[in-house]
Amino acid sequence: MEDYESLLNEAYKKVKVVQTGSDRFEIPPVQGMVEGKNTIITNISQIAGYVRRPVEHIGKFLQRELATSGKLENDRLVLNTKVPSIKVNEKMQLYSKEFVLCNECKKPDTEIVSEKGIKFKHCLACGAKSPVKSLI
């Protein structure tokens, strides 16, 4: 029979770490350029890492919200239209509200889980679970 300390250490290894602190959550501003009729977002991978969501998910969201087609090339998102960076940053704020920030405690320590075909935003900080309204 294992002692309490070893069981506790084993449990801590399985628990996801939630950062504590009162730092304000801010998504890095979108960096990119317009090349011909295309808009290229060069730091999409950095943004995805910061919000801890797949790049593909963010790309699909932006394409839907900006009503344009696009594709991921290397670590860049290429949108097939000219879009001002202010508009893309507004859409990223909307993304963080819908898919990242907890509805209860407003912390970004969430993950998207699927139960019985319904996607939920599960907060690792307070334990709240809320359904994701927008499907991509």
99-120: average pLDDT: 89
Between residues 22 and 79, which one has the greater pLDDT? Answer: 79
pLDDT band at 22 (very low <50, low <70, confident <90, very high): very low
Instruction: Look up the pTM and report it.
Output: 0.77
Give whole-number Cα distances, 10 to 40, 71, 124, in Å. 45, 42, 19
Q: Are 96 and 52 in contact (CB under 8 A)?
A: no
Compute the distance between CA of residue 122 and CA of residue 61 in angstroms, rounded to an integer: 19
Q: What is the mean pLDDT of residues 45-56?
A: 91
Per-residue confidence (pLDDT) for residue 135, from 0 to 100: 65
Does domain 29-100 fall into CATH 3.30.300.90?
Answer: no
- Judge whether residue 78 has pLDDT over 90: yes
Q: What local confidence, expressed as pLDDT, does residue 10 receive?
A: 86
Q: How far apart are CA 49 and CA 70, in angstroms?
A: 20
The domains of the chain are located at: 29-100, 102-136
Instruction: Give which of 50, 27, 53, 31 is closest to 40, Cα–Cα.
Output: 31
> Per the structure block, which two tokens stand in for 62?
């932006």
| Cβ contact 112:119 at 8 Å | yes
The percent of residues in the chain predicted with pLDDT above 70, rounded, is: 90
> Is residue 132 pLDDT above 60, yes or no?
yes
